[in-house]
Structure formats: C-alpha cells, structure tokens
Amino acid sequence: MTSANTRQLQFAIAFGVLSFITVALGALTMQQAGLSAGLWLRNPVAWLIGGGLCFGLSRVRLPLLPQLVVALVLLGLCFVFPGQDGVHRWLAFGPVQLNAAALILPLVLTATRPDRPSPLWLIGLGLIAACLAWQPDRSQLLAFGVAALVLIAQTYGPRALLWAAPVAALALGLCLWRADPLQPVAHVEGVIHMAAAQSPLLAIGLSAALALTALSPLWLWPDASRRPQAFALSLYFALSAVAWLYGAYPVPLAGYGLSFVLGWWLGVAGLFAKSPTQSA
C-alpha cells in the first residue's frame, strides 16, 4: 500500500469514527428523551448501511452524467409524492421518508474533476438549485449553493463564477419567497437543545463530534488533485451542520434523519471513486 493510499485509509477511518460518535451520541440523546427504539436505532442502522455503500462505491467508476440524472430524478420525484403543507422534500417508502437533497447532494459535489471541467455539470447544478428552490429547502440550497460556487471558482475560474452567482442568488430568492410553514420536530431540528437539557457535556460532545466530522474532508483528505471537492464537501457539511442555529432546520447525523447519514457517506465515497477518465 502506497503512502497516498495509507493516508486515504486514515481519512476514511477518521471520518467513520467521528461520524459514528456523532450518530451514537444523537441516538443516546433520543433514547434518553424517551423515544422508542424503533426511532432512535434508525440512524445507527443507516450508518452501517452507508458505510457499506461507501466501501462499494469507492471501488467503482462514477460517470458524471448518470450522477446528475439520478440527482435530478430523485429531486423531481419529491413533487410526485404527497408533500407536507405544500413542502416537497421527501421520498416516502412506507414509514420511512428520505430527504432527497440530503441524500444525493454530497455525491453531486464530488462528481466533477478540476482538470476536466464539464459544462453539463454546470447546467446540472443550475437545475438542482431550481428544484431546491421550488421544494423549498432553504438550508440545503444555501449549503449546496455556497459549496458549489466555491467549487466552480476553483474548477472553472472567475468567468464561470460570474454566471453561476446570479443563478444561485435567484434560486435563493425564489426559495425565500416560497412559504415554509413546517414546524420543528424536537428530535430532528432540536436535538442539540434536547441534549443540552439532559447534560451540557452531552451537548458539547455532540456538537464537537459533528463539527469534526464535517471538517474532516478539509483537514484530512490527502489527494491534492481532488482537494477542491474535499473543500466543497466540508463546506457543505459545515453549513448543513450549523443551519439549526438560524432556523428550524435538521441537525445532520445527530438528529433523526436517515438521508443525512447515508448522504454524508456517499459524499465520502465520491472522493474515493474513480471517474471514467481515470486509469484503473
């Protein structure tokens, strides 16, 4: 095993350990709050499934166009399923609802290569932003939009950023204009407050584990050729992680939400996955 592969393995282990601590502390918070095992056990189970998906996808080639098509199909299907008070963010499978954006956006951010820019990726980002604006999903649009703009600036240069920034601003304006009447759920958006009510140390440990997990691609990913994607992924993770501070938005990994657990693993898989133009 080369030194580069060793460092990548160290990153994968660090992300796995930190994300598991976050999920475990969140599950503990929900369990101590009296929620049923059928609810608080779901995140740990999703963590195991996500780890398996990450291991499998990291060993295959992930073409750009199919990833964009899958992302747009999943986001579009949200409008087919019944929404909640006019809000359409979820794919419903019996008792389980998956937030399509949280599930697929991390993988989209790692889909492009800085040395081979693709106009299709830029067009796909614009369509994704439009879907998020119409759902509406303000926290995911903001996190994804900022991370995508930073990635565009590093990958395509300032000229592409001049085109992309107004599109992102327009999408955010539309998203803010769309009504979002949904009320917060304690074990989804308020899990940090729930932990603090049980123990300040629990809340501090949960917040620290979440922060370290979010920043791990930025400070641990060793492959210089994919550092822009690692930086964008960490930025998306971090902005998603702090969204609860300025609104009634889910707390990834810590609060109940299978999509975030699976999605963060998929984002890490995207860092490892080979593009079709890379050698085997």
Domain ranges in the chain are 3-272
With CA atoms as reference, report the closest residue to 107 among 232, 280, 239: 232
Q: Is 141 exposed, middle or buried (0-12, 13-18, 19+ CB in 10 A)?
A: buried
The pair of three-digit structure tokens given for residue 25, joined into one six-digit string? 């502390």
> CA-to-CA distance for 81 and 85, rounded, in angstroms?
13
Contact by Cβ (8 Å): 84, 188: no
The radius of gyration of the chain's CA atoms, rounded to the nearest angstrom, is 18
Structural element, H or E, at residue 135 = none
> CA-to-CA distance for 210 and 202, rounded, in angstroms?
12
This prediction's pTM:
0.94
Contact by Cβ (8 Å): 92, 131: no
Angle, helices 119-134 vs 158-177, to 10°: value is 10
Q: What is the pLDDT along the chain (280 residues), one digit of tens a residue?
A: 567 678 888 999 999 999 999 999 999 999 999 999 999 999 999 999 999 999 998 888 777 888 899 999 999 999 998 888 889 999 988 778 899 999 999 999 998 765 566 788 889 999 999 999 999 999 999 999 999 999 999 888 888 889 899 999 999 999 999 988 888 899 999 999 999 999 999 999 999 999 999 999 999 898 888 899 999 999 999 999 999 999 889 999 999 999 999 999 999 999 988 644 443 3
What is the three-class DSSP state of 92?
A: strand
The pair of three-digit structure tokens given for residue 136, joined into one six-digit string? 């509406």
What is the three-class DSSP state of 143?
A: helix
